[in-house]
């Protein structure tokens, strides 16, 4: 098998999204887990104007758009169907059917009074939704719902199963279920704590498996390693932490890597790193990669080892401004990226772009960037960095 590092280095743009009527920052990307041969794969993109766009992955054209929901945070497909979820500052998690043109959510998961949701995830078997709140009156909650559709109860609104309230002392910025164990979830907060829970346990105190401390405001968390027994974390000041839960019951230290500011230690070969975007665990090779970028749109991919981060490659000629989101597809080794230049790009190893010349598309991207600056304050991450 071709070395994964060479595969990343060989990524080229195969498609760019067509320009939309209202250019926006592209803040989050997810792809449908179900692929119907005749329909192809769907892509959901969270936009800074409070909408979610559904794209055809092969052509990158907009199929439909769910508009008019300011305060959305995150976008995620269900694992077994084409339902799309997003949490909202109005105290709900909303669910749309990506195949339907109706802008109205097919289900609403209502929180408790005064909840402002800023993060969420759905378990790998689609049974449970968990959402994190901003801190209100000294409370920062993890709220849970039963996401299953009950044939006996066809109501479109669901109330919570319950909530955790004792383990975080500030805004819960990240929620991430285990990729293969539906009963394990990890949360991250601006209080610096990353908490792992077993939700089969009755009370919150006993459900808390372990707490890791990033010593900074958490911006991104994810799972990695064989059987997904490791957790990685990025912070709002571009720090990176990596913990191994296999060491919980041993004398080995749980911390594999702790870098307070990646920008100060990484050598990106004749370039700079301005920010981190997220992590990418490559299952086939059991390797963790960290993705970052520059304010001019260059994407940097770094491999993660216990001795530090090593620069692998840069992807350039695509975006003209800060890259805010990406989604890696393990099946076809493709990468989707979205940025503040309003562009959604599809990258594949060895691909050749068949549309505009690079110069023309960069000019378009640059002009779009000038027009969408009005949305710059809509992102939670940006607010936290100021």
Question: Does a structural domain hold residue 355?
Answer: no
Q: What is the pLDDT of residue 377?
A: 39
Under 8 Å between Cβ of 242 and 232:
yes
Under 8 Å between Cβ of 306 and 256:
yes
Mean pLDDT of 232-243: 98
Question: Does a structural domain hold residue 199?
Answer: yes
Q: What is the pLDDT of residue 262?
A: 98
Mean pLDDT of 346-355: 81
Closest residue by Cα to residue 176 from 304, 281, 57, 250: 281
pLDDT, tens digit, 9 for 90 and up, residues 42-54: 999 999 999 999 9
Question: Does a structural domain hold residue 384?
Answer: no
Neighbouring residues of 246: CB distance < 8 A, sequence distance ≥ 6: 225, 229, 230, 252
Mean pLDDT of 350-378: 52
Q: What is the pLDDT of residue 152?
A: 65
Percentage of the chain beyond pLDDT 90 is: 79
Question: Does a structural domain hold residue 325?
Answer: yes
For residues 315 and 174, what is the distance between their CA atoms, to the nearest angstrom?
A: 27
Selected residue with higher pLDDT from 155 and 135: 135
Question: Does a structural domain hold residue 308?
Answer: yes
Mean pLDDT of 61-76: 94
Question: Does a structural domain hold residue 319?
Answer: yes
Domain region containing 108: 12-349
Question: Does a structural domain hold residue 32?
Answer: yes
Residue 224 Cα distances to 54, 83, 131, 133, 281, angstroms? 28, 25, 21, 25, 6
The chain-wide mean pLDDT, for the chain, equals 90
For residues 56 and 53, what is the distance between their CA atoms, to the nearest angstrom?
A: 10
Residue 72 Cα distances to 44, 93, 119, 179, angstroms? 13, 9, 9, 23
Domain count, the chain: 1
Under 8 Å between Cβ of 263 and 238:
yes
Mean pLDDT of 323-352: 94
Question: Does a structural domain hold residue 183?
Answer: yes
pLDDT, tens digit, 9 for 90 and up, residues 200-233: 998 999 999 999 999 999 999 999 999 999 999 9
- The three state secondary structure string of 85-126 is EEEECCCEEEEEECCCCCCCCCEEEECCCCCCEEEEEECCCC
Q: CATH no. for residue 251?
A: 2.130.10.10
Mean pLDDT of 261-275: 93
Neighbouring residues of 100: CB distance < 8 A, sequence distance ≥ 6: 64, 106
Q: What is the pLDDT of residue 21?
A: 80
Mean pLDDT of 244-252: 95
Under 8 Å between Cβ of 119 and 172:
yes
Q: What is the pLDDT of residue 60?
A: 95
Q: What is the pLDDT of residue 246?
A: 95
């Amino acid at each position: 098998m071709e070395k994964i590092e060479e595969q990343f280095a060989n990524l080229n743009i195969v498609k760019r999204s067509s320009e939309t009527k209202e250019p926006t920052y592209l803040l989050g990307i997810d792809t449908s887990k179900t692929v119907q041969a005749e329909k192809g794969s769907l892509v959901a993109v969270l936009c800074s104007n409070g909408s979610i766009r559904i794209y055809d992955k092969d052509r990158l054209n907009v199929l439909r758009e769910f508009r008019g929901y300011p305060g959305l945070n995150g976008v995620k497909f269900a694992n077994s169907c084409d339902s799309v979820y997003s949490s909202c500052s109005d105290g709900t998690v909303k669910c749309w059917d990506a195949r339907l043109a109706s802008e109205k959510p097919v289900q609403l998961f209502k929180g408790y009074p005064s909840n402002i949701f800023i993060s969420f995830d759905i378990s790998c078997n689609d049974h449970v939704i968990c959402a994190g709140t901003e801190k209100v009156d000294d409370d920062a909650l993890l709220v849970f719902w039963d996401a299953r559709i009950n044939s006996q109860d066809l109501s479109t609104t669901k109330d919570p199963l319950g909530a955790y309230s004792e383990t975080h002392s500030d805004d819960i910025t990240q929620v991430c279920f285990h990729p293969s164990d539906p009963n394990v979830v990890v949360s991250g907060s601006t209080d610096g704590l990353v908490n792992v829970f077993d939700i089969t346990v009755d009370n919150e105190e006993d459900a808390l498996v372990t707490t890791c401390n990033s010593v900074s405001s958490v911006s991104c968390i994810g799972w990695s390693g064989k059987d997904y027994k490791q957790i990685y974390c990025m912070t709002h000041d571009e720090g990176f932490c990596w913990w191994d839960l296999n060491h919980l019951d041993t004398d080995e230290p749980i911390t594999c890597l702790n870098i307070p500011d990646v920008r100060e230690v990484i050598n990106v070969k004749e370039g700079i790193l301005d920010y981190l975007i997220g992590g990418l665990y490559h299952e086939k090779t059991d390797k963790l990669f960290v993705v970052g970028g520059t304010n001019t749109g260059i994407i940097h991919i770094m491999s993660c080892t216990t001795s530090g981060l090593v620069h692998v490659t840069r992807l350039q000629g695509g975006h003209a401004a800060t890259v805010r989101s990406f989604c890696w597809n393990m099946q076809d080794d493709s990468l989707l990226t979205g940025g503040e230049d309003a562009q959604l790009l599809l990258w594949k190893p060895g691909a050749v772009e068949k549309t505009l010349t690079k110069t023309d598309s960069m000019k378009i991207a640059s002009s779009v960037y000038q027009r969408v600056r009005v949305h710059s304050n809509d992102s939670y991450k940006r607010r936290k960095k100021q």
